[in-house]
Amino acid sequence: MTRIESDRGLSPFDDSGIETSEEVLTEQSPKVWSVSQVNRAVYGLLESSVDQLWVSGEVSRWTRSRAGHCYFSLKDERAQIRCAMFSREADQLPANPEEGTKIRVFGRVTLYEARGEYQLVVRRLEPEGEEGLWRLAFEQLRHRLDIEGLLKDDRKRALPRYPGCVGIVTSRKGAALADILKALRRRAPWTQVLIRDTRVQGEGAALQIAEALTQLVNTALPDVIILGRGGGSVEDLWAFNEEPVARAIAASPVPIVSAVGHEIDVSISDLVADYRAATPSSAVEAAVPDVRVLAERLEQAGGQLGRTLRRVSEGQRSFVTEGRRRLQVAIERQFTPARQGLDRACKQLEARANHLTNRQRMKFEGLVGRLEALSPLATLCRGYSVARSMDGRVLKSTLDFTQGSVFELQVTDGKLLAETLGAGEGDGKDE
Interacting residues with other proteins (CB under 8 A): 160-165, 172, 177-178, 181-182, 184-185, 188-197, 215-216, 219-223, 291, 294-295, 297-298, 301-302, 304-306, 308-309, 312-313, 316
Identity of the residue, 103 or 180, whose beta carbon is nearer to other proteins in the bound complex: 180
- Compute the least distance from the CB of residue 164 to other proteins, in Å: 3
Identity of the residue, 107 or 255, whose beta carbon is nearer to other proteins in the bound complex: 255
Identity of the residue, 140 or 192, whose beta carbon is nearer to other proteins in the bound complex: 192
Identity of the residue, 54 or 162, whose beta carbon is nearer to other proteins in the bound complex: 162
- Compute the least distance from the CB of residue 224 to other proteins, in Å: 10
- Compute the least distance from the CB of residue 188 to other proteins, in Å: 8
- Compute the least distance from the CB of residue 285 to other proteins, in Å: 16
Of 277, 269, 229, 225, the C-alpha closest to 246 is: 269
- Compute the least distance from the CB of residue 288 to other proteins, in Å: 11
Identity of the residue, 88 or 292, whose beta carbon is nearer to other proteins in the bound complex: 292
Q: Tell me how far apart the alpha carbons of residues 418 and 64 are, in angstroms, rounded to a whole number.
A: 163
Q: Tell me how far apart the alpha carbons of residues 86 and 69 are, in angstroms, rounded to a whole number.
A: 4
Query: Would residue 204 be called left, alpha or beta, if left means φ above 0 and alpha means ψ between -120 and 50 degrees?
Result: left
Q: Tell me how far apart the alpha carbons of residues 236 and 175 are, in angstroms, rounded to a whole number.
A: 14
- Compute the least distance from the CB of residue 302 to other proteins, in Å: 5
CA atoms within a 13 Å half-sphere pointing along the CA-CB vector of 38? 10
Q: How many CB atoms lie within 10 A of CB 182?
A: 13
